[in-house]
Chain A
Amino acid sequence: MNSVGEGCTELKREYDQCFNRWFAEKFLKGDRSADPCSELFHKYHTCVQKAIKEKDIPIEGVEFMGPNREKADS
């Protein structure tokens, strides 16, 4: 799958591979040892944030689960 930043796809793949392994082998088994993917994520994240700014994607300041607040009453 491609990243929104054309030059970030390889970094994304490396991070995804690391995450998927950690998720299945550690997190799901209740192992709370440190996340081994933070460096990979940092490189990937830097690249994506640049692409987001360049493409003017409006995600700045969007609250986590923001619309959930609105749906609480429905």
Chain B
Amino acid sequence: MGKYFFSETDIKSAWEQVLAAFWQRYPNPYSTHVLTEDVLFREVTPDNLLLSRRLLTKTSRLPRWAERVFPGNLSRSVYIIEDSVVDLGNRSLTTLTWNVNHAKLMRVVERCVFAGDQDRPVWTQITREAWISSGVFGLSRPIQEFGLARFRSNQVKAMKGLEHALSNLQKASAVCPGDSAEKHKNLNSASKTQKPQQYI
């Protein structure tokens, strides 16, 4: 039951930069479907983990066949919670994101891990998993398939949005005096290698 998505990507940016960009990635040219973003909660724990909760609202875009079946859903946006833990010691960020409304129609839970590469400090590995399920009797399979297709397209946008934010941060720091050519080199060589996606 349900659909599972998995992908691994390496990007050529240091983990610290990826994290700074993570908080600043909205708005970006690829996120027009994200309407609002709010931090609801933040705490640094005694063992120096940074916990955060963000609330996002996104447009609820359904394919036409689903719009006919669920007309009421058009009026409400989707509310999404993103919980995250930054572990500085491990150089890792773990996020869990899921929708808190429209859940019976379709629920998407996404877990991401952004891990600094120990051997190659200017690289960060991003692992993304998602579980997509629908509780609608008789339509769960097409809804889940739609959900998986949309998730795949959204993860491409999410990566582009993150890279856009990274590039902005690099440009901003490039304006500061005493800046070296290093930063410009990074900007031009931002590349990624993508391992094959797997999904069931």
Contact = CB atoms under 8 A, between A and B. Distances in A.
Contacts, number: 88
Nearest to A30: B88
Interface residues of B, number: 36
Contact of A24 (B20, B26, B44, B88): B20
The interface residues of chain B, by DSSP majority, are classed as strand
Q: Looking at chain A's contact residues, is the secondary structure mostly helix, strand, loop, or mixed?
A: helix
Contacts of A71: 109, 111, 131
A28 B23 CA distance: 13
Given A4-B57, A59-B81, A64-B53, A48 B40 contact: yes
B23 A65 contact: no
Contacts of A2: 35-37
Interface residues of A, number: 35
Interface of B: 4, 16, 19-20, 23-24, 26-27, 34-40, 42, 44, 48, 50-51, 53, 55, 57, 79, 81, 83, 85-86, 88, 96, 98, 100-101, 109, 111, 131
